Amino acid sequence: MAATGIPLTGTASVHVLASGYAREDPDGEHVGSTVTLIRDGAAAIIVDPGMVASRAELLAALAGHGVTPESVTDVVFSHHHPDHTVNAALFPAARIHDHWATYDGDLWISRDAEGAQLSPSVRLIATPGHTPQDITTLAATPDGVHACTHAWWGADGPAQDPFAPDPAVLAASRARILAVAKVIIPGHGPAFVPDGSTPR
């Protein structure tokens, strides 16, 4: 158990359903969110069900793990930008979690995201930076902690988030995540193992 109370190993399994991207093409700007499935016991959690090139391909990737849209129990928004939230309605039975509440049907349950536990091995922590309301989903697997986060866009940068209102706040959140995470699943790129070149 880390000093923050986050278990460093656990029972979760983590599967990236869609690796995100942000690029400029001749026809305009294309933005895709990294969409992740976390399984832990009875929980099937989708993190950042945002913009993707094909909803059918996203749902096919989910089906490849034996999960139907209706059996997804929880959806997490790392923050409220549309490119990370726009497909939440694909999962009609899911509770939705953000930085200050859980939403279940018409029930609004106010709570601080910090330390919120979604399953035995999955917790939320507050990691402001990209926006002041950003949160990170930490999934403790048998091989270590995976962090679904927008503290990084991708392994290759940008080193400084162009949208971050306070770079010092982002740096503090990155340090907190790196203290526990073996694998980073960033907002707009493939999962990566942090090393000395990872922006701090």
Write down the pLDDT at residue 7: 86
Q: Are 72 and 91 in contact, with CB atoms under 8 Å apart?
A: yes
Sign of dihedral through CA atoms 101, 125, 169, 181?
negative
Q: Are 33 and 20 in contact, with CB atoms under 8 Å apart?
A: yes
Q: Which domains does the chain have, with CATH numbers?
A: 13-185 (3.60.15.10)
Q: What confidence tens digit (pLDDT) does each residue in 139-178 have?
A: 999 999 999 999 999 998 899 999 999 999 999 999 999 9
Token pair in block for residue 17: 């359903």
> In whole numbers, what is the pLDDT of the chain averaged over residues?
96
Q: Does the bond joining 158 to the residue before it have cis omega, within 30 degrees of 0?
A: yes
Q: Flag whether pLDDT at 3 surpasses 90.
A: no
Write down the pLDDT at residue 5: 73
Q: What confidence tens digit (pLDDT) does each residue in 178-195 have?
A: 999 999 999 999 999 999
Helices (H), 28-134: 55-63
pTM of the model: 0.96
Q: State the residue for tokens 């832990």.
A: 40
pLDDT above 70 as % of the chain: 98
